[in-house]
Amino acid sequence: MACHPAVKNINKMRKIKLLEYSELENRKPVGKQVNGLDLVIIKYENNLSVLYGRCLHRGALMADGHIDGDNIICGVHDWDFRIDTGVSEYDNNEALHKFHSEIEDGYVLVDEEEINKYLNEHPQPFNRDEYLGQYADTNPQDTEPYNSYIKELAKNGLKNWGHHGPSASMGVDRNTLPKWEDIQFLPAQLASRPLLDDQEVSTKVVIGRSANKPLELAIPVFVSDMSFGSLSKEAKVALSIGAELSGTGICSGEGGMLPEEQANNSRYFYELASGKFGFSWDKVKKAQAFHFKGGQGAKTGTGGHLPGNKVTEEIAEVRDLKAGESAITLSCFS
Ligand code: FES
């Protein structure tokens, strides 16, 4: 059978059979592989094209697409490539490589050397022995940011995440928090007379005025409850000393009482939360304030998770856990 005039003569090359010519239907793309390279073969009237078989957008199989006029259209997002040249009409810079082919003794032949050269220059990312390996995304883009995440879940379920699924440390952008400069103090005029510049202003706050042991803070702020584990020992102790120097207190957070933190602050708040880590009523006696956390304040409705790899010997001891054991805080008291 005669070659198509556009098809280079490959008599001197290493011919490899792709398929029988009679298997091809007019304008119906067929996929084949040679040495792991995907090809798409298109017969159109008396012509034949053998093109690289993966879409240049995200790597879909072009054999899964369809022919529309002079183009083969990818079945995923409709990228188009000319069937005669492989060049995209939409963007001429994108072109599926066209391989030399010929028909001999009823078979479609290609040149194995050309295929291997192409493979050398364009290593293929498809590991077909792997689950979903056939569908590797050759060009991941942030327009579809969850593709690889969905594939990872399809492949491994929650094995690599833990039963809570993906979790990350909490955090709020500084710019989205209220700022001190947003506070407007109502100016005093007549009903409350303004103070003169040299008059002293007390910032003292008393918590539990009628309690047996009221707690007095020199300023109306204290260091709130971040647990040992979410913060390092160094940070906890430094904050405790800083609070003490400022005349105010610090709260243990839900991660138990870090002895050095408690010892460095005389206005210590000791917290009981749903995780009850290392909690004991004996330790309450060492504190100046008992802090009860009924729900997860910053983590509304979700509870907390300190991953096992962060639970060191020391954190484990304070929290009454085993080293390496994840610390799970329930979303409410059980
Ligand atoms: S993968 Fe082919 S158009 Fe997107």
Distance CA 316, CA 305 (A): 14
Residue 317 has what pLDDT?
A: 95
Strands 98-99 and 107-111, sheet pairing:
unpaired
Residue 11 has what pLDDT?
A: 54
Which token pair is 218? 């020199």
C-alpha 224 to ligand 1 mean position (Å): 51
Helices (runs of H) and strands (runs of E) counted in the chain: 6, 17
DSSP one-letter code for 71 = E
Residue 2 has what pLDDT?
A: 43
Ordered by where they begin, the domains of the chain are: 15-139 (2.102.10.10), 201-329 (no CATH)
* Pocket lined around ligand 1, Cβ cut-off 6 Å: 55, 57-58, 60, 74, 76-79
Residue 298 has what pLDDT?
A: 67
Mutation choice for ligand 1 from 56, 57, 144, CB with most ligand atoms inside 8 A: 57
Looking at the whole model, is its pTM more than 0.75? Answer: no
Q: What are the Cα distances from residue 77, in Å, to 20, 59, 61, 88?
A: 30, 11, 12, 14
DSSP one-letter code for 26 = B
C-alpha 49 to ligand 1 mean position (Å): 20
Residue 9 has what pLDDT?
A: 52
Q: What are the tens digits of pLDDT across the range 152-164?
A: 898 899 988 877 7
Averaged confidence pLDDT in the chain: 90
DSSP one-letter code for 155 = H
C-alpha 67 to ligand 1 mean position (Å): 15
The residue whose C-alpha atom lies closest to atom 4 belonging to ligand 1 is 77
Mutation choice for ligand 1 from 40, 64, 74, 90, CB with most ligand atoms inside 8 A: 74
Residue 143 has what pLDDT?
A: 86
Distance CA 305, CA 326 (A): 7
C-alpha 175 to ligand 1 mean position (Å): 39
Atom of ligand 1 nearest to the CA of 59: 1
Residue 5 has what pLDDT?
A: 42
C-alpha 76 to ligand 1 mean position (Å): 5
Strands 215-217 and 205-207, sheet pairing:
antiparallel
Three-class SS state of 50: strand
Which token pair is 62? 């072009």
- Determine contact, residues 271/225, Cβ cutoff 8 Å: yes
- Per-residue pLDDT tens, the chain, 334 aa: give them: 444 444 445 556 799 999 999 999 999 999 999 999 999 999 999 999 999 999 999 999 999 999 999 999 999 999 999 999 999 999 999 999 999 999 999 999 999 999 999 999 999 999 888 888 888 888 888 888 888 888 889 889 998 887 777 877 667 788 888 888 888 877 788 888 888 999 998 999 999 999 999 999 999 999 999 999 999 999 999 999 999 999 999 999 999 999 999 999 999 999 999 999 999 999 999 999 999 998 776 666 778 888 899 999 999 999 999 999 999 888 888 8
The residue whose C-alpha atom lies closest to atom 3 belonging to ligand 1 is 77
Residue 7 has what pLDDT?
A: 45
Residue 64 has what pLDDT?
A: 97
